[in-house]
Amino acid sequence: MSEGITYAAAGVDTAAGDRAVELMKSAVARTHGPQVLGGVGGFAGLFDVSMLKAYDRPLLASSTDGVGTKVAIAQALDIHDTIGFDLVGMVVDDIVVCGAEPLVMTDYIATGKVVPERIADIVRGIAAACEVAGTALVGGETAEHPGLLGPHEYDVAGAAVGVVEAADLLGPEKVQTGDVVIALASSGLHSNGYSLVRAVINHAGWTLDRHVDEFGRTLGEELLEPTRVYASDCLALARDAGAQVHAYSHVTGGGLAANLARVLPKGLSASVDRASWTVPAVFDVVRGLGQVPWGDLENTLNLGVGMVAVVGADGADAALARLAALGVPAWTLGVVTEDDGATGEGIVRGAKGVDGGAVRLHGEYRA
């Protein structure tokens, strides 16, 4: 009589999953403060929110995201301990936009085959980024999907929950004419537009180990540069009364103009001077290799601006000084004015389902 089919024979190795947990436990534990109850391995993560009793009207903020096809670069290079920064940045920096402090995060990894060391590397990166953000990594899941994903393939996603006092909520309601628009520099491509970038690289026939003079390193190293995590810096800036922060915009899919328009009230317009910064080399290389039109580039990639702060006119100098002290490169992009209703090239009005304000891009990029 033939032996029956086992779970292991079907391609799922539960023992490997257990080994991965053991390898990642210490990194996850470093994100835990006294508010975290229990440890790794529970059915649910527990977080003591007794501090909410001190809030007049606490609002919970939540966000979920992944890192898109950037995982293909990590898999090709067999480097997995940085992709966690991309995941955490995509999630917690959406939460901080409204002024909320990201409290807890969970992750989900789907893979064709659990290789404990690889899974542990991914989670170590997530935990390290959570430390930077001041967020507790309280749980996660690793799912083995043989037959759906190849043995070396995986995808990652995550979710986070934060809290903000209702009176401190940031957003369109606080933005007014005369406000100053400040750019916070990105660390590179971050985690958006990699389908375009990969198509350009493939079309050019470039390999990831190619040294690129403009980058001063290999193409693969540049493409895998981790996303800058802004959460703790943005919270510090928002808590600085002198900076007069009214709104933040996280520049992700859709580019600068579309994301900035989401946090402006209808009837107001923000100017963005393209000549106010030098576009980092990676974006110009992608443009040149693929003959990508500037319009398509700025509607897809961050072009060097990863986060935007909209601050009061009297708070701009204080905001720039505070960001400099925090080690975040920043500069003035433009100002907020009344929307004159103009349409045409470089003008975005509302975006992603939000009937918001307008953004006018003017000038020429410096590359």
224 in a structural domain: yes
> Of 34, 28, 48, which is closest to residue 139 (Cα–Cα)?
28
Residue 160 backbone dihedrals phi, psi, to 5 degrees = -145, 155
CATH number reported for the structural domain that contains residue 286 in this entry: 3.90.650.10
197 in a structural domain: yes
The structure tokens listed for 230 are: 């802004």
pLDDT tens digit sequence for 193-226 = 999 999 999 999 999 999 999 999 999 999 999 9
CATH number reported for the structural domain that contains residue 118 in this entry: 3.30.1330.10
Read off the pLDDT of each residue in 80-101 and give the average, rounded to a whole number.
98
User: Last residue of some domain: 142, 165, 188?
Assistant: 165
The percentage of the chain sitting over the pLDDT mark of 90, rounded to a whole number, equals 81
- Please tell me the predicted confidence (pLDDT) of residue 7: 74
Spatial distance between the Cα atoms of 73 and 81, rounded to a whole number of angstroms: 12
- Please tell me the predicted confidence (pLDDT) of residue 1: 47
Write the CA distances from 194 to 34, 212, 291, 352, integer angstroms: 38, 18, 16, 20
6 in a structural domain: no
Task: Give the position of tokens 């328009």.
Answer: 261
- Please tell me the predicted confidence (pLDDT) of residue 20: 81
Residues 246 and 275 in one domain: yes
Residues 209 and 271 in one domain: yes
Read off the pLDDT of each residue in 175-186 and give the average, rounded to a whole number.
98
214 in a structural domain: yes
Mean pLDDT of the chain: 93
Helix 83-95 to helix 70-77 angle, to the nearest 10 degrees? 160
Of 42-51, 114-123, 132-141, the one with minimum mean pLDDT is 42-51
Spatial distance between the Cα atoms of 139 and 163, rounded to a whole number of angstroms: 18
User: Last residue of some domain: 165, 180, 206?
Assistant: 165
Spatial distance between the Cα atoms of 66 and 105, rounded to a whole number of angstroms: 13
pLDDT tens digit sequence for 102-135 = 999 999 999 999 999 999 999 999 999 999 999 9
Query: Taking the model in full, what pTM does it have?
Result: 0.94
Residues 234 and 153 in one domain: no
353 in a structural domain: yes
Write the CA distances from 252 to 49, 67, 84, 91, integer angstroms: 30, 11, 16, 11
Q: Are 204 and 230 in contact (CB under 8 A)?
A: no
Number of domains in the chain: 2
User: Last residue of some domain: 165, 192, 227?
Assistant: 165
- Please tell me the predicted confidence (pLDDT) of residue 17: 75
* Segments forming the whole domain that contains residue 24: 12-165
3 in a structural domain: no
38 CB-side CA count, 13 A? 12
Residues 177 and 101 in one domain: no
pLDDT tens digit sequence for 313-360 = 999 999 999 999 999 999 999 999 999 988 888 889 877 778 889 999
Residues 187 and 150 in one domain: no
Residues 98 and 183 in one domain: no
Spatial distance between the Cα atoms of 135 and 31, rounded to a whole number of angstroms: 7
